[in-house]
Amino acid sequence: MVRFLNMSSTIGRIALFCQIGALLCVLTPFGYTASRRDVHRELTKLLSLSPFKDMNVGIKVTSLETNDILFDYHGDLLLKPASNVKLVTTLAALKYLGADYEFKTKVYTDGTIQKGVLQGNLYVKGFGDPEFVSEELWYLVNDLKRNGFQTITGNLVLDDSFFDTVRTVQNGSNHEGERAYDAPLGALSVNFNTTAIYVRPNTKVGLKARVIVDPTNSYIKVINKAKTDSATKSLSLVVTRIEGKNQDTIMVTGGIPINYPEKRYYRNITNPLLYAATLFRRFMKEQGLSIQGKNQFGVVPEKAQEILVHTSKPLRWIVSDLNKISNNFIAEQMLKTMAAELNKSPGTTDKGIDILGNFLKEVGVKTPYQLVNGSGLSPQNKMSAAQLVDVLKYGYQYFEIFPEYMASMGIVGVDGTVEKRLQGTIAQGKVRVKTGSLTGVSSLSGYLSTVKNELLAFSILVNDSQDRVGDMQGLQDKILLTLCGLEN
């Protein structure tokens, strides 16, 4: 149930409920249709209700077929867009890198192969692949095995010089240190620079809970102080990642009831290169390959010979992974990759922001606005609803990238971050959106098809100092229902 407003008087609550209830009766039936004038009137009425009139709201709705502005409510007001910034980052990446762009991970050697032995070092260089996960690493090592050697006499040298050495999201917000969405960046990264921790009860009350780290590796140390509790107790697990010099420690405390299903947690790691080296060695060992030397971190020498190139899936698929689940790590890796490809390596956030600025100028977006990173993970990012609609209109005009761009967004009531919103309503399956949320921020921008199949571009940015999440999302949902019912 949507929470609308905490009012001190019962009479006030009843009055508000009646206001909104009457409005919903008009907006939500499946057969509801309305003219442009009706839509404008109903949205204006909606925004006059408490608590919506107490929020900072910017709305812009434009028909992509007639170019008419259907609704504009403080559309030029600069607000915090949160993850709606990803709409800019992904469209720029599709345009500048291309939908078929593939991230690469390359393997080199400075030695020779003699009787199954590589006499020399093995170099692995990353080029920003944001989805280089365990499965991809397995395939790389499996391909490497076919090069005709089983033993490497030299060192394992990892090279992440394609990016700068800044690991954190620039001007990041909501940092909680160990959370997966705040993972460190790096041109050579594995598993989003995160690890999964599974906790399940043991066979008897009082025994230690079972803790499993996936993927298993020697970089992660586990301290398990969690117990199996009786079925009458509540889940009280606490999973903490503790940074160390050469490894990270996962500390698990509290309790899990004996009848409780397995619980999964994600935590980031602090040293991407050391984590990657550990996983490389693990998968090499499983394939029967051994490295006699040490782990080193440096740059591939010019004399080294390239022996293997592993490519990611195409950018069009990665953009979809990014937008549907709103992945900050992918967005920031993509931004630095654009910087390195278009403005020479090492890729940096500042170079990437300059590229986004040039892109917005090409789109026709005029200042003022402010972008400090590519994911939206900062309250310092500022854009207006009108500027985001300009970005959406630009994407629509280019057939070469529009299908991939729109398909990357969550489908209301179907998948992504809006899977459970407006299910069973006229809006289900008719709206493609990018959500955004920070403390006191809820944003929703994308494309919408009306009952008459007219395609609209819209942006709804809501900033609320009281952080009334249910109210902010409730406002957005009611606007979508109204727009979906537009008949002419």
Its pTM stands at 0.92
Query: What confidence category does residue 488 fall into, taking pLDDT thresholds of 50, 70 and 90?
Result: confident
Could you give the CA distance from residue 204 to residue 476 in angstroms, rounded to a whole number?
A: 48
- Give the E-state strand segments of 269-383 in sequence order: 290-291, 295-297, 305-311
Could you give the CA distance from residue 453 to residue 316 in angstroms, rounded to a whole number?
A: 25
180-196 pLDDT tens trace: 888 999 999 999 999 99
75 membership: H or E segment, kind and range: none
Mean pLDDT of 248-253: 98
Which of 86, 106, 336, 478 is an active site residue? 86
- The mean pLDDT of the chain is 93
Radius of gyration from C-alpha coordinates of the chain: 26
- Position 178 scores a pLDDT of 87
Phi, psi dihedrals of residue 2, rounded to the nearest 5° = -80, 130
Residue 345 annotated in active site: no
How many Cβ atoms from other residues are within 10 Å of residue 214's Cβ?
13
Q: Where are the domains of the chain?
A: 31-99+317-484, 103-312
Sign of the four-CA dihedral 364, 365, 366, 370: negative
Which of 173, 189, 312, 326 is an active site residue? 326
- Position 170 scores a pLDDT of 83
Kindly give, in sequence order, each residue whose CB lies less than 8 Å from that of residue 457, ignoring residues fewer than 6 positions away.
61, 62, 64, 389, 392, 393, 396, 446, 447
Which of 60, 83, 375, 443 is an active site residue? 83
416-462 pLDDT tens trace: 999 999 999 999 999 999 999 999 999 999 999 999 999 999 999 99
The CATH code that applies to domain 31-99+317-484 is 3.40.710.10
Q: Name the CATH architecture for the domain at 103-312.
A: 3-Layer(bba) Sandwich (3.50)
- Position 14 scores a pLDDT of 38
Mean pLDDT of 99-111: 98
Q: Is 122 within 8 Å of 154 (Cβ atoms)? A: yes
159 membership: H or E segment, kind and range: strand 156-159
- Position 32 scores a pLDDT of 60
Mean pLDDT of 271-286: 97
**% of the chain surpassing 90 pLDDT:** 89
Q: Is 169 within 8 Å of 182 (Cβ atoms)? A: yes
- Position 10 scores a pLDDT of 37
- Is the pLDDT confidence value at 49 over 50? yes
- Is the pLDDT confidence value at 31 over 50? no
Classify strands 410-411 and 431-438 as parallel, antiparallel or unpaired: antiparallel
Could you give the CA distance from residue 180 to residue 57 in angstroms, rounded to a whole number?
A: 30
Structure tokens at 463: 């900033």
Sign of the four-CA dihedral 317, 170, 415, 444: negative
Could you give the CA distance from residue 350 to residue 335 in angstroms, rounded to a whole number?
A: 9
Residue 86 annotated in active site: yes
